[in-house]
Amino acid sequence: MTEAEPISIVMEHILDPVRAQHELLRPLLQPMVQVPSCRGVPIDATSEAPILWVLHLFSGRRRIGDCHWWLEHIGRHLWPGLTIRIVSLDTAVHPKLGNLATGPNLARARRLAEQGLIAGVLTGPPCETWSAARHIVLEDGKGPRPVRSADLPWSLTSRTGKEMVQTSMGTQLLTNSWTIEAAAVTHGAGAIMEHPWISMGG
């Protein structure tokens, strides 16, 4: 071999285990994880002024400083000619129409999201079992005790039957909200959820 001749080195192929695993699982997972391309933010143009519909899940009662209050005061200045309407869903607002556990109103909210009619979803975790208030130790020692934590999000040990039922309902409500959010997002909507980690003392 002379100096002018190129040196040919055959190198061993380096395996990428993560990529190999993805390739093996692609035929199985692709139908479940494929997200359609965004068609744009859904706008209701059936009335004179275009409307953006937003679902506020577990909204609580209307109060000064909430999302509704801010949109009423600044929304028309930020987006002139566009109306933003928030629909509050919470049993504190209405025991039947605000029920996100089961029933026709939950089905209606899901259907609206699945049809691409919702522009945004605001969600706070169901506060009865996810709230940080249960982790506050009161001076008199009274008040409900925690039923879950960041380390044990599904349930703490040694809970009563009533507390287990409360925890189960809170988990069901949170799961239901995820289905609405996922359906809305895949049709171009935006979704914001208050992270329950801080609420659980994590």
- Categorize the per-residue pLDDT at 111 as very low, low, confident or very high, splitting at 50, 70 and 90: very high
Task: Decide if 171 is inside a domain.
Answer: yes
Match 């629909």 to its residue by tokens: 87
Work out the percent of the chain whose per-residue pLDDT is above 70: 76
CB-CB contact of 99 with 172 (8 Å):
no
pLDDT of 202 higher than 50: no
Task: Decide if 2 is inside a domain.
Answer: no
- Categorize the per-residue pLDDT at 2 as very low, low, confident or very high, splitting at 50, 70 and 90: low
pTM: predicted TM-score of the whole model, two decimal places:
0.69
- What's the total number of domains in the chain? 1
* Angle at alpha carbon of residue 89, lines to 83 and 92, rounded to 5°: 125
Which domain range does residue 124 map to?
Answer: 41-199
| Strand order across the beta sheet in which 190-193 lies | 83-89, 51-57, 120-123, 190-193
For 151: left if phi > 0, alpha if psi spans -120 to 50, otherwise beta; the answer is alpha
Greater model confidence, 41 or 91:
91
Task: Decide if 106 is inside a domain.
Answer: yes
Helices (H), the chain: 17-33, 67-70, 76-78, 104-114, 127-130, 161-185, 196-199
Task: Decide if 5 is inside a domain.
Answer: no
Work out the percent of the chain whose per-residue pLDDT is above 90: 13
What span, in angstroms and rounded, lies between the C-alpha atoms of 147 and 154?
Answer: 8
CB-CB contact of 68 with 88 (8 Å):
yes
Residue 164 CB neighbours (<10 A): 13
